[in-house]
Amino acid sequence: VSLQRMQIGEVAERTGLSLRTIRYYEEVGLVRPSARTPGGFRLYTEPDVARLNLVKRMKPLDFSLEEMRDLLASLDALEAVDETGQDRDAQLQRLAMFRAVADERCRALREQLETAEEFATSLRREISRQRRLAGRPR
Amino acid sequence: VSLQRMQIGEVAERTGLSLRTIRYYEEVGLVRPSARTPGGFRLYTEPDVARLNLVKRMKPLDFSLEEMRDLLASLDALEAVDETGQDRDAQLQRLAMFRAVADERCRALREQLETAEEFATSLRREISRQRRLAGRPR
DNA sequence: GAGACACTCACGTAGCGTAAGCGTCA
DNA sequence: CTGACGCTTACGCTACGTGAGTGTCT
Protein backbone atom coordinates (compact mmCIF):
# COMPACT_ATOMS: atom_id res chain seq x y z
CA VAL A 1 0.00 0.00 0.00
CA SER A 2 1.06 3.53 -0.61
CA LEU A 3 4.65 2.69 -1.28
CA GLN A 4 5.10 5.84 -3.22
CA ARG A 5 2.14 8.14 -3.40
CA MET A 6 -0.66 8.32 -0.88
CA GLN A 7 -3.78 10.33 -1.09
CA ILE A 8 -5.04 12.78 1.42
CA GLY A 9 -7.02 10.38 3.59
CA GLU A 10 -4.05 8.26 4.44
CA VAL A 11 -1.94 11.33 5.05
CA ALA A 12 -4.54 12.63 7.46
CA GLU A 13 -4.52 9.38 9.34
CA ARG A 14 -0.75 9.28 9.55
CA THR A 15 -0.32 12.87 10.63
CA GLY A 16 -3.37 13.30 12.80
CA LEU A 17 -4.34 16.39 10.84
CA SER A 18 -7.80 16.85 9.34
CA LEU A 19 -8.42 16.86 5.62
CA ARG A 20 -9.46 20.48 5.88
CA THR A 21 -6.27 21.40 7.65
CA ILE A 22 -4.09 19.69 5.09
CA ARG A 23 -5.90 21.38 2.23
CA TYR A 24 -5.70 24.69 4.01
CA TYR A 25 -1.96 24.34 4.49
CA GLU A 26 -1.68 23.93 0.77
CA GLU A 27 -3.89 26.94 0.15
CA VAL A 28 -1.56 29.17 2.14
CA GLY A 29 1.51 27.69 0.52
CA LEU A 30 2.76 25.81 3.54
CA VAL A 31 2.83 22.22 2.30
CA ARG A 32 1.84 21.27 -1.20
CA PRO A 33 1.36 17.74 -2.52
CA SER A 34 4.09 16.82 -4.95
CA ALA A 35 1.59 15.60 -7.52
CA ARG A 36 -2.02 15.17 -8.51
CA THR A 37 -3.85 12.45 -10.37
CA PRO A 38 -5.26 13.42 -13.76
CA GLY A 39 -8.61 13.66 -12.01
CA GLY A 40 -7.32 16.11 -9.44
CA PHE A 41 -6.66 13.93 -6.37
CA ARG A 42 -3.74 15.14 -4.28
CA LEU A 43 -0.80 12.74 -4.11
CA TYR A 44 1.70 12.97 -1.27
CA THR A 45 5.16 11.46 -0.90
CA GLU A 46 7.01 10.55 2.28
CA PRO A 47 8.85 13.88 2.39
CA ASP A 48 5.51 15.64 2.11
CA VAL A 49 4.27 13.77 5.14
CA ALA A 50 7.46 14.57 6.98
CA ARG A 51 6.91 18.23 6.24
CA LEU A 52 3.39 18.06 7.59
CA ASN A 53 4.65 16.40 10.73
CA LEU A 54 7.24 19.11 11.07
CA VAL A 55 4.51 21.72 10.90
CA LYS A 56 2.57 19.81 13.50
CA ARG A 57 5.53 19.84 15.82
CA MET A 58 5.86 23.59 15.34
CA LYS A 59 2.28 24.32 16.27
CA PRO A 60 2.78 24.35 20.05
CA LEU A 61 5.18 27.24 19.51
CA ASP A 62 2.24 29.23 18.33
CA PHE A 63 3.80 30.43 15.11
CA SER A 64 1.44 31.78 12.51
CA LEU A 65 1.15 29.76 9.33
CA GLU A 66 2.93 32.57 7.54
CA GLU A 67 5.86 32.40 9.92
CA MET A 68 6.07 28.65 9.52
CA ARG A 69 6.04 29.06 5.78
CA ASP A 70 8.97 31.44 5.99
CA LEU A 71 10.83 29.17 8.36
CA LEU A 72 10.34 26.19 6.10
CA ALA A 73 11.46 28.28 3.14
CA SER A 74 14.69 29.12 4.93
CA LEU A 75 15.28 25.49 5.80
CA ASP A 76 14.62 24.51 2.20
CA ALA A 77 17.01 27.14 0.95
CA LEU A 78 19.75 25.86 3.24
CA GLU A 79 19.08 22.32 2.13
CA ALA A 80 19.63 23.26 -1.51
CA VAL A 81 23.40 23.05 -1.68
CA ASP A 82 23.81 25.26 -4.71
CA GLU A 83 23.52 28.47 -2.81
CA THR A 84 25.77 31.48 -2.86
CA GLY A 85 27.45 32.38 0.40
CA GLN A 86 25.48 35.58 0.72
CA ASP A 87 22.15 33.89 0.50
CA ARG A 88 23.21 31.24 2.97
CA ASP A 89 24.17 33.90 5.46
CA ALA A 90 20.85 35.62 5.06
CA GLN A 91 18.96 32.38 5.63
CA LEU A 92 21.10 31.56 8.64
CA GLN A 93 20.30 34.94 10.09
CA ARG A 94 16.62 34.26 9.64
CA LEU A 95 16.96 30.89 11.31
CA ALA A 96 18.67 32.56 14.23
CA MET A 97 15.76 34.99 14.53
CA PHE A 98 13.33 32.13 14.55
CA ARG A 99 15.33 30.43 17.23
CA ALA A 100 15.13 33.55 19.36
CA VAL A 101 11.38 33.74 18.88
CA ALA A 102 11.05 30.04 19.62
CA ASP A 103 12.96 30.42 22.88
CA GLU A 104 10.74 33.30 23.85
CA ARG A 105 7.62 31.29 23.09
CA CYS A 106 8.92 28.46 25.25
CA ARG A 107 9.34 30.88 28.09
CA ALA A 108 5.79 32.14 27.58
CA LEU A 109 4.53 28.57 27.54
CA ARG A 110 6.24 27.81 30.83
CA GLU A 111 4.59 30.84 32.39
CA GLN A 112 1.26 29.81 30.99
CA LEU A 113 1.63 26.37 32.45
CA GLU A 114 2.45 27.82 35.81
CA THR A 115 -0.57 30.10 35.78
CA ALA A 116 -2.75 27.23 34.69
CA GLU A 117 -1.57 25.00 37.49
CA GLU A 118 -2.02 27.72 40.03
CA PHE A 119 -5.58 28.15 38.89
CA ALA A 120 -6.23 24.42 38.96
CA THR A 121 -4.92 24.32 42.51
CA SER A 122 -7.07 27.20 43.67
CA LEU A 123 -10.05 25.56 42.03
CA ARG A 124 -9.38 22.39 43.96
CA ARG A 125 -9.11 24.36 47.18
CA GLU A 126 -12.37 26.16 46.50
CA ILE A 127 -14.08 22.85 45.91
CA SER A 128 -12.99 21.33 49.18
CA ARG A 129 -13.89 24.53 51.00
CA GLN A 130 -17.39 24.36 49.59
CA ARG A 131 -17.59 20.67 50.44
CA ARG A 132 -16.81 21.48 54.05
CA LEU A 133 -19.54 24.12 54.05
CA ALA A 134 -21.96 21.69 52.52
CA GLY A 135 -21.18 19.17 55.23
CA ARG A 136 -23.44 20.89 57.73
CA PRO A 137 -26.37 22.68 56.18
CA ARG A 138 -29.24 24.28 58.08
CA VAL B 1 -8.48 58.71 42.24
CA SER B 2 -10.92 55.96 41.47
CA LEU B 3 -11.70 55.16 45.05
CA GLN B 4 -14.98 53.71 44.07
CA ARG B 5 -15.77 53.64 40.40
CA MET B 6 -13.24 53.57 37.63
CA GLN B 7 -13.85 53.75 33.95
CA ILE B 8 -12.71 51.36 31.34
CA GLY B 9 -9.32 52.90 30.60
CA GLU B 10 -8.07 52.50 34.12
CA VAL B 11 -9.45 48.99 34.29
CA ALA B 12 -7.60 48.12 31.11
CA GLU B 13 -4.37 49.43 32.55
CA ARG B 14 -4.80 47.56 35.80
CA THR B 15 -5.77 44.26 34.23
CA GLY B 16 -3.60 44.32 31.15
CA LEU B 17 -6.62 43.63 28.99
CA SER B 18 -7.52 45.76 25.98
CA LEU B 19 -10.58 47.97 25.87
CA ARG B 20 -11.95 45.80 23.11
CA THR B 21 -11.47 42.67 25.16
CA ILE B 22 -13.17 44.12 28.21
CA ARG B 23 -16.13 45.29 26.14
CA TYR B 24 -16.29 41.94 24.42
CA TYR B 25 -16.38 40.11 27.72
CA GLU B 26 -19.37 42.18 28.61
CA GLU B 27 -21.01 41.46 25.28
CA VAL B 28 -20.84 37.74 25.90
CA GLY B 29 -22.04 38.13 29.47
CA LEU B 30 -18.76 37.28 31.13
CA VAL B 31 -18.05 40.43 33.15
CA ARG B 32 -20.38 43.37 33.22
CA PRO B 33 -19.67 46.78 34.77
CA SER B 34 -21.76 47.33 37.87
CA ALA B 35 -22.89 50.74 36.65
CA ARG B 36 -22.87 53.32 33.89
CA THR B 37 -22.76 57.09 33.93
CA PRO B 38 -25.87 58.87 32.65
CA GLY B 39 -23.91 59.43 29.45
CA GLY B 40 -23.20 55.74 29.00
CA PHE B 41 -19.63 55.36 30.30
CA ARG B 42 -18.95 52.01 31.94
CA LEU B 43 -18.13 52.16 35.64
CA TYR B 44 -16.27 49.32 37.33
CA THR B 45 -15.82 48.51 41.00
CA GLU B 46 -12.99 46.62 42.66
CA PRO B 47 -14.87 43.31 42.55
CA ASP B 48 -15.40 43.84 38.83
CA VAL B 49 -11.68 44.21 38.35
CA ALA B 50 -11.08 41.13 40.46
CA ARG B 51 -13.43 39.21 38.23
CA LEU B 52 -11.57 40.36 35.14
CA ASN B 53 -8.31 39.29 36.69
CA LEU B 54 -9.82 35.94 37.48
CA VAL B 55 -10.78 35.52 33.84
CA LYS B 56 -7.29 36.49 32.84
CA ARG B 57 -5.86 33.80 35.06
CA MET B 58 -8.18 31.25 33.51
CA LYS B 59 -7.13 32.03 29.97
CA PRO B 60 -4.04 29.81 29.94
CA LEU B 61 -6.35 26.89 30.57
CA ASP B 62 -7.81 27.54 27.18
CA PHE B 63 -11.43 27.56 28.29
CA SER B 64 -13.91 29.12 25.91
CA LEU B 65 -15.55 32.31 27.08
CA GLU B 66 -18.78 30.39 27.39
CA GLU B 67 -17.18 27.82 29.68
CA MET B 68 -15.70 30.59 31.82
CA ARG B 69 -19.08 32.24 32.04
CA ASP B 70 -20.58 29.01 33.32
CA LEU B 71 -17.76 28.47 35.77
CA LEU B 72 -18.13 31.99 37.13
CA ALA B 73 -21.86 31.47 37.39
CA SER B 74 -21.33 28.37 39.50
CA LEU B 75 -18.89 30.18 41.73
CA ASP B 76 -21.35 33.05 42.14
CA ALA B 77 -24.14 30.66 42.99
CA LEU B 78 -22.03 29.03 45.68
CA GLU B 79 -21.09 32.41 47.04
CA ALA B 80 -24.72 33.33 47.49
CA VAL B 81 -25.44 31.70 50.82
CA ASP B 82 -29.18 31.50 50.43
CA GLU B 83 -29.09 28.43 48.29
CA THR B 84 -31.03 25.24 48.69
CA GLY B 85 -29.02 22.11 49.25
CA GLN B 86 -30.01 20.66 45.91
CA ASP B 87 -28.77 23.61 43.95
CA ARG B 88 -25.53 23.67 45.88
CA ASP B 89 -24.93 20.05 45.04
CA ALA B 90 -25.54 20.69 41.39
CA GLN B 91 -23.09 23.60 41.37
CA LEU B 92 -20.53 21.57 43.23
CA GLN B 93 -20.83 18.86 40.64
CA ARG B 94 -20.22 21.38 37.91
CA LEU B 95 -17.18 22.72 39.70
CA ALA B 96 -15.84 19.22 39.95
CA MET B 97 -16.29 18.78 36.22
CA PHE B 98 -14.41 21.98 35.58
CA ARG B 99 -11.64 20.79 37.83
CA ALA B 100 -11.35 17.62 35.80
CA VAL B 101 -11.20 19.60 32.56
CA ALA B 102 -8.66 21.97 34.07
CA ASP B 103 -6.42 19.09 35.10
CA GLU B 104 -6.65 17.66 31.62
CA ARG B 105 -5.74 21.00 30.08
CA CYS B 106 -2.74 21.24 32.36
CA ARG B 107 -1.61 17.88 31.13
CA ALA B 108 -2.05 19.03 27.54
CA LEU B 109 -0.09 22.18 28.29
CA ARG B 110 2.78 20.18 29.71
CA GLU B 111 2.90 18.08 26.56
CA GLN B 112 2.78 21.16 24.43
CA LEU B 113 5.68 22.66 26.31
CA GLU B 114 7.66 19.52 25.85
CA THR B 115 7.03 19.43 22.11
CA ALA B 116 7.91 23.09 21.88
CA GLU B 117 11.20 22.64 23.67
CA GLU B 118 12.08 19.67 21.56
CA PHE B 119 11.53 21.72 18.48
CA ALA B 120 13.55 24.62 19.82
CA THR B 121 16.38 22.23 20.54
CA SER B 122 16.31 20.69 17.10
CA LEU B 123 16.27 24.17 15.62
CA ARG B 124 19.36 25.06 17.58
CA ARG B 125 21.06 21.90 16.38
CA GLU B 126 20.18 22.62 12.79
CA ILE B 127 21.63 26.09 13.09
CA SER B 128 24.97 24.93 14.39
CA ARG B 129 25.06 22.22 11.77
CA GLN B 130 24.57 24.80 9.07
CA ARG B 131 27.18 27.04 10.67
CA ARG B 132 29.68 24.24 10.44
CA LEU B 133 28.86 23.73 6.79
CA ALA B 134 29.19 27.43 6.16
CA GLY B 135 32.61 27.42 7.77
CA ARG B 136 34.25 26.01 4.68
CA PRO B 137 32.53 26.94 1.44
CA ARG B 138 33.89 26.19 -2.05
C1' DG C 1 -21.70 0.43 -11.90
C1' DA C 2 -21.34 0.79 -6.89
C1' DG C 3 -19.01 2.24 -3.01
C1' DA C 4 -15.35 4.71 -0.99
C1' DC C 5 -12.89 8.46 -1.52
C1' DA C 6 -11.81 13.01 -3.12
C1' DC C 7 -12.78 17.67 -5.16
C1' DT C 8 -14.21 22.67 -5.00
C1' DC C 9 -17.00 26.33 -3.43
C1' DA C 10 -18.76 28.75 0.26
C1' DC C 11 -20.55 30.07 4.60
C1' DG C 12 -19.80 29.82 9.89
C1' DT C 13 -16.98 30.26 14.20
C1' DA C 14 -14.14 32.40 18.29
C1' DG C 15 -11.80 36.15 20.08
C1' DC C 16 -10.63 39.72 19.44
C1' DG C 17 -7.94 44.17 16.29
C1' DT C 18 -8.85 48.23 14.06
C1' DA C 19 -10.89 52.10 12.21
C1' DA C 20 -14.91 55.54 11.60
C1' DG C 21 -17.89 58.77 13.30
C1' DC C 22 -19.73 60.76 17.19
C1' DG C 23 -20.93 61.72 22.17
C1' DT C 24 -19.22 62.71 27.22
C1' DC C 25 -16.59 64.10 31.11
C1' DA C 26 -13.36 67.26 34.10
C1' DC D 1 -14.67 75.09 25.26
C1' DT D 2 -11.30 71.91 24.55
C1' DG D 3 -8.78 67.87 25.13
C1' DA D 4 -8.92 63.31 26.78
C1' DC D 5 -11.65 59.69 27.09
C1' DG D 6 -15.48 56.80 25.94
C1' DC D 7 -19.44 55.00 23.03
C1' DT D 8 -21.47 52.07 19.23
C1' DT D 9 -21.29 49.97 14.66
C1' DA D 10 -19.16 47.36 11.64
C1' DC D 11 -15.81 45.17 8.90
C1' DG D 12 -11.22 42.34 9.01
C1' DC D 13 -8.37 38.56 10.56
C1' DT D 14 -6.60 33.54 11.56
C1' DA D 15 -7.10 28.75 11.32
C1' DC D 16 -9.78 26.05 10.52
C1' DG D 17 -15.14 23.15 10.93
C1' DT D 18 -18.93 21.92 8.36
C1' DG D 19 -21.94 21.13 4.84
C1' DA D 20 -23.59 20.87 -0.23
C1' DG D 21 -23.21 19.28 -4.57
C1' DT D 22 -20.28 16.89 -7.78
C1' DG D 23 -16.55 14.22 -9.67
C1' DT D 24 -12.90 10.16 -9.41
C1' DC D 25 -10.77 5.91 -8.37
C1' DT D 26 -10.62 0.63 -8.10
DSSP state of B61: G
The mean per-residue pLDDT over the stretch A42-51 comes to 97
Give the residue, B96 or B83, on which the prediction is more confident: B96
* Residue B15, min C-alpha distance to chain A (Å): 15
CB-based contact, B32 to chain A, within 8 Å: no
Q: Do A116 and B98 touch (CB under 8 A)?
A: no
Q: What is the mean pLDDT of chain A?
A: 92
Residue B79 belongs to what H/E stretch?
Answer: helix B65-79
pLDDT band at A17 (very low <50, low <70, confident <90, very high): very high
Q: Read off φ and ψ for residue A35, nearest 5 degrees.
A: -165, 170
Across the interface, of A119, A124, A126, the residue whose CB is closest to B61 is A119
Q: Is residue B65 over pLDDT 60?
A: yes
* Residue B126, min C-alpha distance to chain A (Å): 9
Determine whether the distance from the CB of A40 to the nearest atom of strand C is below 7 Å. Answer: yes
Q: What was the pLDDT predicted at B136?
A: 64
Number of residue pairs across A and B with CB atoms under 8 Å?
98
Q: How far apart are CA A71 and CA A98, in angstroms?
A: 7
